Amino acid sequence: MNFENVLLEKKNAIAYVTVNRPKVLNALNTATMAELGVAFSEIKNDPSIRVAILTGAGEKAFIAGADIGELAKQDAVSGKEFAQRGQAVFDLIENFGKPVIACINGFALGGGCELALACTMRLANDNAKLGQPEVKLGIIPGYGGSQRLPRLVGKGLAMQMVLAGEMITAQEAHRIGLVNEVTSAAELIPRAEAIAAKIIANAPLAVQYAMEAVNKGMEMTLAEGLHLEAALFGVCCATLDKSEGTAAFLEKRPAAFKGK
Side-chain-side CA neighbours of residue 149 (13 Å): 27
For 12: left if phi > 0, alpha if psi spans -120 to 50, otherwise beta; the answer is left
Phi, psi of 194 (to 5 degrees): -65, -40
Secondary structure (3-state) at 79: helix
**Nearest Cα to 136, choosing from 170, 162, 107, 158?**
162
Among 35, 134, 193, 229, the one annotated catalytic: 134
Active site residue 114: yes
Yes or no: say if 199 and 50 are a contact pair by the CB < 8 Å rule: yes
Among 35, 114, 193, 229, the one annotated catalytic: 114
Alpha helices in 45-141 (DSSP H): 68-71, 76-95, 111-118
**Which residues are tagged catalytic?**
114, 134
